[in-house]
Amino acid sequence: MDSRCAFCFHPLLGAAGDACRVCAAAATTTSPFGSSSAKPSPSAFSYSAPTATTSPSAFGFSAPLGPSFGQPASASNFSAIGFSTLQSFLGETAPPSPFALPPVSTNTSPYGVAQPLGSLTESPGPVFDDDEPVEDPPAATLGGVQEAPSSATNAPLVLNTHCELPAIARGSARDSFAVLVHAKAPAADHAAPRPSLDLVTVLDVSGSMAGGKLALLKEAMGFVIDKLGPADRLSVVSFSHQARRETRLTRMSDAGKASTKLAVEYLFACGNTDILKGLDTAAKVLDGRRYKNTVASVILLSDGQDTCNRPFGFNCGQNKSYDYLVPPSFVANNDRSTPIHTFGFGTDHDAKEMHAVAEATGGTYSFIENQAVVQDAFAQCIGGLLSVAVQEAWITVACPHPDVRVRSIKSGRYESRVVAYGRAASVDVGELYADEERRFLLFVDVPRVAEDDEDVTRLIRVSCTYKDSTTGKSMQVDSEEALVRRPAEVTREEEQKPSMEVQVERFRVEAAEDIAAARAAAERGDHAEAVRILDRRQEAARTGDLLGDARCAAVVYELAELSARVSTQREYEQTGRSSMLSGMSAHAQQRAVSVNLCGAMASPTFGATAAPAFGAGCAMPTFGATPAPAFGAGCAMPTFGAAFATPAMVDMVGSSRKIREEREQQHSSPPTMPSNGSIFAAANNDSSSNPTS
């Protein structure tokens, strides 16, 4: 193995083999790569096409460039860097890794793996146990289960219940009586340290990413790097027909940010797409850690179809299974999955594949139709990951009354169980971002009661145990018991009025089920039925108490947009499938995802109130009493499940949008120097590590 730098893991150069030019260049620059005599000049990152016959020998090519790399031989597959300039910058002999692309016939890793392409039987490969040590954890990390404190500085998770009706007559029994369980994570305490993050970004650098796509991805990665704090660690993995760990899991200190940005800048697009290898490498990075931060996650971005051949035996066609793409350690890591948040970049990616990977690991799937907002999509995800407040949340339900039974739970993708013959139930909630909410509908059977019984029936008692992500302490909160009054007759109007909270959540859950049913109809080619299912649910919200409710109006807008996108086979294949799967991901997770709605339909009317349109000067539709702020000037970034966007996510997207607008203004003015959209040219002036800056 080549001798490598202990910090950035790039090859050591120089006659003595003890100098790392990458770290030396990074150390002599100011963040983000300000003026310095040692920094690379803009020409070092200009576009330079290799010759049509062979690629430069310094980068290890033995095969001619051509169609096997996904592009004609005369086209440039390397949009990120001019090779001759790189040689002069790094030394006479450019390193074979991590920038070398191996010959087409083998999958050669810079860390000692060599095997034929297309084989699913991976060799053991490298052990990535060189992660940089984490910072010392906070002092208060031990202790048993404690009652959640009431102080504002360490606010507890809030747990509430809402009954479908306030009263049921004594002589009446009710089956499937709805009770809403509502949990809300504490708000972010900016005065306290937040939990640190271990993040692995798995980036598609296949041939289809060449040019503008790769430049936008580099800008987005530059934003992510700037927003990470010195205690956070980041590893960059790139993949095409092979995968390569570009950087080890490195703390985002000033020097760590500089070396990681440089590694990102050196990415170039070439080859086919093998998502399996990319995720397998990411798993090795996380599995091999010697140290661990509190939060761990993976971001996967791809713009195309998985073009690598698989051995015989994998399901193909309509019911193709994507289980083989998810490394086992991501699904069961100490009984907790490591979430993979997937991003479908453009309209040519395999939406079913990306959705399946996210679904299997508890991540979200986002559809980036407008490629220009990829940075905003990353920002929304990072805003959440940098504000995790609750971990290992577990809601338990008990029935105090001997004849009350839990029949079922509507919990989306969160695992729920009904046990003890319906006398108890539980929901595995997992992680919650600061201010994030979860709503679960429980359906219980309520018995008749005798005349001499109590005036109320105690339905359920709810508690939640969780780990405070900042202190590591186990906490427990209890809600007040859900009660229903039992008068002899229900005559008063206030006793017959249903809970608005329950009605709205029931409508959202039923709308999510209709989206899944409409998608199934569209997959079998019955687009008329798909449209009918979605339109029918919209009509259900135009009468009764739901009419005019802003939360339901936001859901109706989603349904109307999806209805337009499944109306024809062409529209469904182009954007409908991706939009529907993103919507399903948002509602199943109750977490905001990025779905760029470019206006396949006009703003629908919703009774007397027009549903919010994503036009000039509009704000994001909300799923709460308080309107969500627009993401910068003009139109808000459209998302599915806008109700689920937390303040930290909204603030982070606002910061991204502001930076993008400033960058666009700079590009529209006469340039003072050559610009290729690199993360060096598009410096982030707001480099604070505060996740809500």
Residue with tokens 């029935």: 399
- Residues 287 and 155: their CA atoms lie apart, in Å, by 33
Residue pLDDT, tens place only, 9-55: 555 555 445 556 555 544 544 333 333 333 333 333 333 333 333 33
Report the predicted TM-score, pTM, of the whole model to 2 decimal places: 0.76
The residue type at 556: V
Tokens of 657: 């949008």
Q: Please, which residues have CB within 8 angstroms of residue 332's CB and are 6 or more apart in sequence? A: none
Residue with tokens 């349904």: 559
- The SS3 call for residue 690 is coil
Query: For residue 595, what pLDDT band results from cuts at 50, 70 and 90?
Result: confident
Residue 580 has pLDDT above 70, yes or no: yes
Tokens of 503: 């009605």
Q: What single string gives the DSSP state of each residue in 553-600?
A: HHHHHHHHHHHHHTSSHHHIIIIIHHHHHHHHHHHHHT--EEB----S
Share of the chain above pLDDT 70, in %: 66
Burial category of 30 from C-beta neighbours within 10 Å (exposed 0-12, middle 13-18, buried 19 and up): exposed
- The SS3 call for residue 34 is coil
Binning the chain into helix, strand and coil, the percentages to the nearest 5 are: 30, 20, 50
- Antiparallel, parallel or unpaired: β 174-184 and 158-163: antiparallel
Most confident of 322-331, 420-429, 537-546, 591-600: 420-429
Sheet of 405-410, strands arranged across:
158-163, 174-184, 437-446, 405-410
CA 359 to chain CA centroid, Å, is 11
Residue with tokens 């019911």: 319
Candidates 69, 47, 51; CA nearest to 207 is 69
- Residues 653 and 634: their CA atoms lie apart, in Å, by 14
- Antiparallel, parallel or unpaired: β 437-446 and 424-433: unpaired
Burial category of 426 from C-beta neighbours within 10 Å (exposed 0-12, middle 13-18, buried 19 and up): middle
Burial category of 1 from C-beta neighbours within 10 Å (exposed 0-12, middle 13-18, buried 19 and up): exposed
Whether 578 contacts 353, CB under 8 Å? no
Query: For residue 635, what pLDDT band results from cuts at 50, 70 and 90?
Result: very low
pLDDT number for residue 310 = 59
pLDDT number for residue 8 = 52
More confident residue, 247 or 677: 247
User: Any idea what the Cα angle at residue 470 is, between residues 183 and 245, rounded to 5°?
Assistant: 105
CA 175 to chain CA centroid, Å, is 38
pLDDT number for residue 442 = 98
- Antiparallel, parallel or unpaired: β 233-239 and 250-251: antiparallel
User: Any idea what the Cα angle at residue 387 is, between residues 384 and 393, rounded to 5°?
Assistant: 90
pLDDT number for residue 373 = 93
Sign of CA dihedral 666, 669, 673, 676: positive
Q: Please, which residues have CB within 8 angstroms of residue 81's CB and are 6 or more apart in sequence? A: 44, 45, 48, 265, 266, 268
- The SS3 call for residue 7 is coil
Share of the chain above pLDDT 90, in %: 57
Residue pLDDT, tens place only, 174-193: 999 999 999 999 999 888 88
More confident residue, 638 or 257: 257
pLDDT number for residue 669 = 67
More confident residue, 144 or 206: 206
Q: Mean pLDDT for the chain?
A: 77
